[in-house]
A and B are shown apart, each in its own frame.
Chain A
Amino acid sequence: MSAQDAKISAAMEHSEWDLVMTRVFDAPRELVFKVWTETQHVAQWWGPKRFTNPVCEMDVRVGGAIRIHMRAPDGVVYPMTGVFQEIVVPERLVFVSSALDDKGNSMFDVLSTVTFADERGETALTLQLRVIKATAQAPQYLKGMEMGWTQSLDRLGQHLATVQK
């Protein structure tokens, strides 16, 4: 068994194919929930480093729409849409989001469940992702996006290096 296969086998036993991520934020739960559900706040952090969100709209109610256009540091815009399926203030958000190609067709649909747990004034946020649909373009799309941000960081590093000389 190759190392990769061993990794795959281990992941399978822990049923990790649906991505689960937990992070503890040093902020009260109400505040964390608020910055997830008010667009002027969401636009400040959604997406990788140095991405901006020129379009950021959320209709926070069951059946309400999400529309976010992420702009990568290299100028490429990545539009996505979504629909809220469940909202429990300030505990839980469930939504389906879709990344769109340049014709507006969905390349992948992901069901996200976000839970906010109060831990003595801090907030443990758990994000569970289940892929509902993914076309053959989907991996390429994410790869491109990642290159968009890592390359720009490299460029920034190079720039800083020249400036400091």
Chain B
Amino acid sequence: MNDRLSETFGALADPTRRAILARLAAGEASVTELASPFAMSMPAISKHLKVLERAGLIARGREAQWRPCRLQASPLRDVAGWVDHYRRFWEESFDRLDDYLQELKAQDSKNKAKEKKHVRTRREN
């Protein structure tokens, strides 16, 4: 499936996995090191690491026996780029919504002013 981005978003949807990535952004770490801040079993951590690895977000070293985990940032850049574009789409829409609301309010107060004037003229008659 040509859904790399979905896989990245899926991997990022979990707070534990995000915390693992944040830790790895500061440098490579062993599985034991990554597991230490969490009250979680090693198999549970391994499962999260597998998801991250499948999404191409981390790589496991083969050289050392402790097989350090490393962050691979390129899929994150794709996601960050996507989010940026989407944010701009909504910022533009919000700007227009803001203008439109002001327009509606201005119209409304104009109509009210007219009504008042109308009432006043009737009273004068």
Chain A residues packing against B (C-beta within 8 Å) = 1, 4-9, 11-13, 15, 17-19, 21, 23, 25-27, 31-32, 35, 41, 44-49, 108, 110, 125, 127, 129-136, 138-139, 142-143, 145-146, 149
Which among A25, A45, A46, A129 is the interface contact of B86 at CB below 8 angstroms? A129
Nearest chain B CB to A77 CB, angstrom units: 15
Write out the residue numbers on chain B whose beta carbons fall within 8 Å of the beta carbon of A136: 2-5
| B interface secondary structure, majority | helix
Complex-state Cα separation, A36 to B96, whole angstroms = 12
How many A-B contacts at CB < 8 Å in the complex? 135
Write out the residue numbers on chain B whose beta carbons fall within 8 Å of the beta carbon of A4: 73, 77
Closest to A141 in B: B85
Q: In which size bucket is the chain B interface?
A: 35 or more
Nearest chain B CB to A40 CB, angstrom units: 11
Check A139–B100 contact: CB distance below 8 A.
Answer: no
Complex-state Cα separation, A78 to B91, whole angstroms = 18
Complex-state Cα separation, A139 to B79, whole angstroms = 8
Write out the residue numbers on chain B whose beta carbons fall within 8 Å of the beta carbon of A49: 92, 95-96
